[in-house]
């Protein structure tokens, strides 16, 4: 059966860590495709107001355009309310049909928050979870986080192996806001888009 990876995030902006996560998941779980799903962002969670949906969407499109295994989908941007994963998975099933296996991809920091996710049982009934190491949470420590979860959840969770890529959207936004360079942290076309459309700069620049 075809295996499809679903990778949700605020992608504010998309960075090379995200692409490394997608590549790792694709290779290690044998995925035929990874769908990038920009979510709506809670203004309460951000240090600065998030980039508009249309910009976050465009940056993800540009970052994934050159790899035929990647595709951006607008599912979460087009629906009202918070982007609950359990709902996104229902939508994915409707869109992709019954003959695909769904895999939900997250960074290790998100596994820590799993007990607080809405309807974890509903999520894991629909998809297996692929967890990619992130700086500060890898190896034995990550394994311990998984083992702290109920056994029926652990059975649906795979820890993948990757040398962590040290980058976050928060760091990228802070660097841009301070006028510092971001080459080496972002895909080439994302840098070009940010520069051309003057994103993530202080309001008075």
Residue choice 4, 17, 55, 75 for contact with ligand ATP (CB under 6 A): 17
Helix (H) or strand (E) holding 126: helix 120-126
- Span 89-108, contacts to ligand ATP by CB under 6 A: 106-107
Strand-pair partners of 101: 3
- Span 119-148, contacts to ligand ATP by CB under 6 A: 132, 134
Q: 3-state class of 127 per DSSP? A: coil
- Cβ 146 to ligand ATP shortest distance, Å: 15
Any contact of residue 21 with ligand ATP (CB under 6 A)? yes
Any contact of residue 167 with ligand ATP (CB under 6 A)? yes
Binding region for ligand ATP (CB under 6 A) out of 10-18, 25-33, 74-82, 178-186: 10-18
**Beta 100-107 vs 128-132: how paired, if at all?**
parallel
Tokens of 166: 């040290």
Q: How many of the other CB atoms lie within 10 Å of CB of 125? A: 11
Per-residue buried b or exposed e for 13-49, using 16+ beta carbons within 10 Å of the residue's own CB:
bbbbbbbbbbbbbbeebebebbbbbbbbbeeeeeeee
Any contact of residue 169 with ligand ATP (CB under 6 A)? yes
- Cβ 7 to ligand ATP shortest distance, Å: 7
Which residue, 18 or 26, has its beta carbon nearer to ligand ATP? 18
Any contact of residue 168 with ligand ATP (CB under 6 A)? yes
CA-wise closest residue to 129 among 162, 151, 158: 158
Q: 3-state class of 172 per DSSP? A: helix
Q: Which residue is nearest to ligand ATP (CB)?
A: 107
- Cβ 117 to ligand ATP shortest distance, Å: 11
- Cβ 195 to ligand ATP shortest distance, Å: 20
Binding region for ligand ATP (CB under 6 A) out of 15-23, 82-90, 96-104, 186-194: 15-23
Inter-axis angle of helices 53-64 and 188-196, nearest 10: 150
Residue choice 6, 10, 22, 64 for contact with ligand ATP (CB under 6 A): 10
DSSP state of 47: S
C-alpha 82/C-alpha 18 separation (Å) is: 21
Binding site for ligand ATP (CB under 6 A): 9-12, 17-18, 21, 106-107, 109-110, 132, 134, 164-165, 167-170
């Amino acid at each position: 059966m075809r295996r499809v990876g679903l990778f949700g995030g605020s992608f504010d902006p998309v960075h090379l860590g995200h692409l490394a996560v997608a590549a790792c998941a694709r290779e290690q779980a044998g995925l035929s495709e990874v769908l990038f799903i920009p979510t709506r962002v809670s203004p309460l969670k951000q240090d600065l107001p998030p980039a508009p949906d249309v910009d976050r969407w465009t940056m993800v499109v540009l970052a994934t355009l050159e790899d035929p295994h990647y595709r951006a989908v607008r599912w979460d941007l087009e629906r009202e309310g918070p982007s609950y994963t359990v709902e996104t998975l229902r939508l994915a099933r409707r869109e992709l049909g019954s003959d695909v296996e769904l895999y939900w991809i997250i960074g290790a920091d998100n596994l820590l928050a799993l007990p607080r996710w809405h309807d974890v049982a509903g999520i894991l009934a629909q998809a297996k979870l692929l967890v990619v190491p992130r700086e500060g949470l890898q190896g034995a420590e990550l394994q311990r986080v998984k083992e702290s979860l109920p056994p029926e959840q652990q059975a649906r969770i795979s820890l993948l192996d990757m040398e962590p890529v040290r980058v976050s959207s928060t760091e990228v936004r802070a660097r841009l806001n301070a006028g510092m360079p971001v080459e080496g942290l972002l895909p080439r076309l994302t840098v070009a888009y940010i520069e051309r459309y003057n994103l993530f700069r202080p309001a008075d620049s």
